[in-house]
Structure 1
């Protein structure tokens, strides 16, 4: 039996308005000369900026660390070998106290500042009223310059007119503490000021990490009978491993490059010496010695590379495994 189909239906199927046209195969556009120019410009400009502002000064600092130069006359530019590094490690009376202060700075931020930021993030991640306002308040110090933060805390710690001594009732009396003038306490006072800013920064990073945790993991743990503390330390915190690595690296780098607050307080002297402040002291301070200053800078660079290399190896190592 022959199946006869009306002519009109056949035409509609082949070319009528109600027919579905055959899918067109996609074609790759050829790589033109204009594309090559645009791509070259987009790659060359950032590379040139990084080369001029980062790599050339870095290489120049390493080279200058093997010379002696007062930064003024070319006649004073003389090879020094490793004598600048010998001065840093054996003859500088400020280096090892500065290293100790830098280590204390790192430990304080790691033990106090970073956990405080995590605590704020966990609290503000809850469905509480006004959470956005609290986040803005705690993040506000991050948006201020570190120099301005030093000025604010100078007003807070002032011996006679400061808020802290007024609250303690010692302002204007012999019992008033010079929080930034006493070498026994000024480092801790500066660390509180630095933590005020650091914890807000860490809070925002951890808030982003908490938002990325799969809620079904927490729900499954709750159904199994886990309490809030167990859910956080056994489920949520391990799930934020990439965020934790970033925060560890940021905390180390923030400690190594700490400079602004201590310089605003008392030009990083009288108990506030840091390795970063010694770099500035010898590079632009009175009686500047460029070679020694760059030697301090190279030492700080080598130490800073350790957490950076660790972070990059972890990041790209996981990417290669995937």
Structure 2
């Protein structure tokens, strides 16, 4: 018996009825031969980890654009925290951890430099708008491997596409697998809490600033809040399944508390006055780099010039800009616009 068969047999024995079994995958856009050891979801996870876009996450900002500290989150460390939280929830429920891990590791590959400020800029400039979850799919299907894409399974792509938003109330935005739904909640659990942690470290937020009623429900410390939310997600989802409802969710009170905590962070930190000046600087840089390449298509890498020919200038330049790390974007801005010493 092949090792892959043993792994898939173990999935049938250990996972709950509503879990996504790798042997039942809807497959890939391009059919591939099965491997002896790895299941399709294991292959997808490994392809994402070894991709260039995954490695670039280490230099993409989560919230704070430029820091001198080593302990502030980046888009990469956020991704790893989402993966850890979602695998814990998935294991507690009895779901496919390989599928969960693949979705979690790939969910933010389409994020732009300079946190959500970059997404706002490209959303203004690209006809039809720009969303990082949709860009993640473009990265995985059309941009990785010099335009060949990674040819991932439908379940992984669906979970990545539908990780945005705050609830599963709309079936249109709900992942087709419970594993994908787990990642959606884990993303919010991770970023709301680790952004609080980073904000306190930066001296921009104090624990006493957080509404007391939310602290009383979710917990005072970072670990307490994560534990409350993870436990609630596991037990509430198991309760849903016992009732015949195949849906991942938080309980009403805990879900409301997390939503209010997220709202507080948007008002105080994400869109607050504290970081307004740095947000505007980041947008200025991106606007000008975008404008430059709209006028100098010939200077972009070959893959993006091909996209310009097939899908237009705005799409090609957007794909190029969206893939940049914060540091690379700043290097290009300085190269393009900052005067150099030519006489010594």
- TM-score bracket relative to the smaller structure: under 0.3
- Flag the structure with larger Rg: 1
Normalised by the length of structure 2, the TM-score is 0.23
Q: TM-score, normalised by structure 1?
A: 0.24
